[in-house]
């Protein structure tokens, strides 16, 4: 008996964020910062999630994020650079660029 053809579904943005470079230290550290330091539930967080509008980050969260990124990843960002990152993906790309790690 043959099985009917079943087309694989493309991963959702949430699944892509969760699985994107799962073994990658930058992605894992960023996930940890968002979840542990900034107290965000990652269930609905995607690379396209906007830091301010979707996740509700404020100036205090940005200051905490700058410190946490430097402590966990050794990447020094200014609050201005962090603030100019509109989405989670922008932030990850900025960290990668500063760390010299390809996406």
The pLDDT tens digits for 27-68 are: 989 999 999 999 999 888 999 999 999 999 999 999 999 999
CA distance 103 to 91: 12
By CB atoms closer than 10 A (0-12, 13-18, 19+), residue 43 is exposed
Element (H, E) at 19: helix 13-19
Tokens representing 89 are 């993906």
Name, in order, each residue with C-beta under 8 angstroms of 54's C-beta and a sequence gap of 6 or more. none
CATH fold of 23-99 reads: 1.10.1200
Are the CB atoms for 11 and 19 separated by under 8 Å? yes
pLDDT one-digit tens code per residue, 77-101: 987 898 899 999 999 999 999 988 6
Predicted TM-score of the model (pTM): 0.73
CA distance 51 to 34: 10
Where are the domains positioned within the chain?
23-99
């Amino acid at each position: 008996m043959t099985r009917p053809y079943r087309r694989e579904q493309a991963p959702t943005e949430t699944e892509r964020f969760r699985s994107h470079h799962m073994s990658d230290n930058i992605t894992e550290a960023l996930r940890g910062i968002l979840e542990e330091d900034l107290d965000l539930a990652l269930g609905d967080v995607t690379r396209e999630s906007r830091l301010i509008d979707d996740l509700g980050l404020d100036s205090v969260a940005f200051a905490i994020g700058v410190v946490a990124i430097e402590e966990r990843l050794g990447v020094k960002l200014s609050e201005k650079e962090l603030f100019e990152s509109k989405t989670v993906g922008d932030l990850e790309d900025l960290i990668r660029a500063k760390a010299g790690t390809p996406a």
